[in-house]
Every structure is written in C-alpha cells, then in structure tokens.
Amino acid sequence: MAPDFLAISPNNKIPAIVDPNGPGGKRVSVFESGAILLYLGEKTGKFLPAPLIERIPVYEWLMWQMGGFGPMPGQVHHFIALENEQDRAYGLKRFMAETRRLYGVLDRRLAACEFVAGALSVADFAILGWAWRHERHKVDLADFPNVQRWYDAMMARPAVKRGMEAKLD
C-alpha cells in the first residue's frame, strides 16, 4: 500500500481521482465510483439534475448499481476464473441467476423510460460500466430488449465511444 495512494483512497482500491481545481480552487481527492460520479455531476452541472425531485431516481438507480449491478456481475467474474469445478459451478449458478434477475429489473425500468432516471444521468454511466461486460456475464441482451435499446444508445454516444477506445496505462 503506497502511502501516497492511501492518502487519496483509504480503501486502497481504484477508482480514485484528484481534482487540482476542486471547490474553492483547492485540490480535492475523491474515491469510490459513486462518489466520483456525484462529485463530477455536481461540479460540471451535467448528468445530475438540479431539482431534488429529479435527482431522486438518479440516486436510486446509482445506489442500485453500486449495491447490486456491480457486485453480482463481479462475483460472476470471480467464479468464472476458478479452477475448482465444484466451487466454480456453485458460484456461477448462484451469481449468474442474480445477475440475470438484475438485468430483468433494469429491463422493466427501461420499458418505462429512455434512461434509468428519465434523463441521461450519472446512474446510466455507472450501470454501463458493468453492462458493457454482458457477454462475460453470459447475458444475451436479446433476452432484455429494453436493456439492448438503452445499451445501443449509450454505446453510440461519441464520448462513450472515445472512452471505450482509450488506452489505459
């Protein structure tokens, strides 16, 4: 654990950002995906609506992603990599079923609106961070037509395309 990184991310995990031009022009560090998305939404005024009534679904769907749609597919990733077939089979059965259930929740929500909180928001970007791995989750988006529509729309966004093409160090 590098002390410099621990000062930014006490959990010693990514993501973490440093904004040299934070509030009041001061340097600020932010760790955890949801906190980073909310910070950037607040700072830029983009993808986070100002009226509280419009923020509520953004908060709900962002927390849904943080509490379920990230951890459950993450468990699928873990169990796919196991070599012990008995452990692997148990974990995949359990977490793939829950992952598919979550795709169903998302599909029902997207049947009622274009984006998860109505307008495009940080919640959509958080969910996309896992949905783009649907093939690894062994999920065919054809089974979830509203997720497929949303996914195609998200992936067609120029900034998303640039992000997906970015080379990471």
pLDDT at 134 over 70: yes
99 and 131 housed in the same domain? yes
Number of domains in the chain: 2
pTM of the model: 0.84
Query: What's the CA gap between 60 and 64, in Å, rounded?
Result: 6
- Residue 87's contacts (CB-CB under 8 Å, 6 or more residues apart) are 79
Contact 123, 116 (CB under 8 A): yes
Please report where in the chains the tokens 């529509």 appear, as a residue: 149
pLDDT at 169 over 70: no
pLDDT digits (tens, 9 = 90+) for 98-127: 999 999 999 999 999 999 999 999 999 999
pLDDT digits (tens, 9 = 90+) for 25-82: 999 999 999 999 999 999 999 999 999 999 999 999 999 999 999 999 999 989 888 8
What is residue 12's predicted lDDT score, i.e. its pLDDT?
Answer: 87
30 and 92 housed in the same domain? no
CB atoms within 10 A of CB 165: 7
The CATH number of the domain holding residue 161 is: 1.20.1050.10
Please report where in the chains the tokens 């992000």 appear, as a residue: 163
148 and 65 housed in the same domain? yes
107 and 148 housed in the same domain? yes
58 and 40 housed in the same domain? no
33 and 72 housed in the same domain? no
pLDDT at 3 over 90: no
What is residue 168's predicted lDDT score, i.e. its pLDDT?
Answer: 66
112 and 87 housed in the same domain? yes
User: By residue range, what is the domain housing residue 131?
Assistant: 52-165
The CATH number of the domain holding residue 12 is: 3.40.30.10
32 and 58 housed in the same domain? no
89 and 149 housed in the same domain? yes
Query: What's the CA gap between 146 and 106, in Å, rounded?
Result: 8
